[in-house]
Amino acid sequence: MSQNIEGKVIVITGASSGMGEAAAKHLAKLGAAVVLGARRSDKIEKLAKEIAADGGKALAIATDVTRSDQVRKLVDLAVEKFGRVDVLLNNAGIMPLSPMDRLNVDEWDRMIDVNIKGVLNGIAAALPYMKEQKSGHIINTASVAGHKIFAGSAVYSATKFAVRALTEGLRTEVKPYNIRTTIVSPGAVKTELLEHITEADVQQANKDYVGAVGLSPESFARVVEFAISQPEDMDINEIIFRPTAQEL
């Protein structure tokens, strides 16, 4: 199936670690040109050099997804350097879980800004190019928490429910332009997301659980590969994946 990935230009947000980094490496090995966005410029520049040293094509640009101008610059760079943008992987996200009665309002605001507005900024940057091309694929990272709510996840889950709603709404509107849309909802995956949790008891509980059953970030990369690699007339709209041992 990877024949539909070779030569594609793929923009990835949240590419500095975890699932975004794994996807960048994996897709580059399959022949895609990857354009990497994240706030930590040192990490994505290092990743781009590693991909290039391995024979792949990669560019990196510091990007805060809450800044629409920076996300536009990221997508514009992809088009400037490679002539088009075939796939946008809206992967940047944060997960500072906490019970609502602890009133971590600043964290609520940050989740809304990154997890929802960041996705919208990516769509706004890529959609005009994809409409003009009459082709493209927008992949948005949601979560199992966007299907189920558990103690401490209310606001995070709300942002991921929103990602699902936005992606499904987009799907219904872009059919005239031959654009595909995919929601990827991972379960427990071992990434830096757990470091965003500032409540010590909540963080420890989640670290214990994910440490016991969590998948590697490469599991996400393989799912993304599957969605992209389908023939252009096939639109994989939503994928949920979990560790086999995960009950939630």
CATH number at residue 13: 3.40.50.720
Look at residue 246 and tell me if it is in a domain. no
Task: Give the structural domain span for 168.
Answer: 2-241
Say if residue 216's pLDDT is above 80. Answer: yes
Q: Give tens-digit pLDDT for 24-39.
A: 999 999 999 999 999 9
* Average pLDDT of the segment spanning 33-58: 97
pLDDT band at 1 (very low <50, low <70, confident <90, very high): very low
Look at residue 171 and tell me if it is in a domain. yes
- Count of domains for the chain: 1
Say if residue 167's pLDDT is above 90. Answer: yes
Look at residue 166 and tell me if it is in a domain. yes
Whole-number pLDDT of residue 2 = 54
Whole-number pLDDT of residue 75 = 98
Mean of per-residue pLDDT scores for the chain: 97
* Average pLDDT of the segment spanning 178-187: 98
Look at residue 105 and tell me if it is in a domain. yes
Say if residue 3's pLDDT is above 90. Answer: no
> Catalytic site residues?
156
- Rounded to two decimals, the pTM is 0.96
Token digits of residue 42: 């040192």
Look at residue 247 and tell me if it is in a domain. no
Whole-number pLDDT of residue 117 = 98
* Average pLDDT of the segment spanning 67-83: 98
Say if residue 101's pLDDT is above 70. Answer: yes
CB 188 within 8 Å of CB 215: yes
Look at residue 248 and tell me if it is in a domain. no
Token digits of residue 108: 């609520």
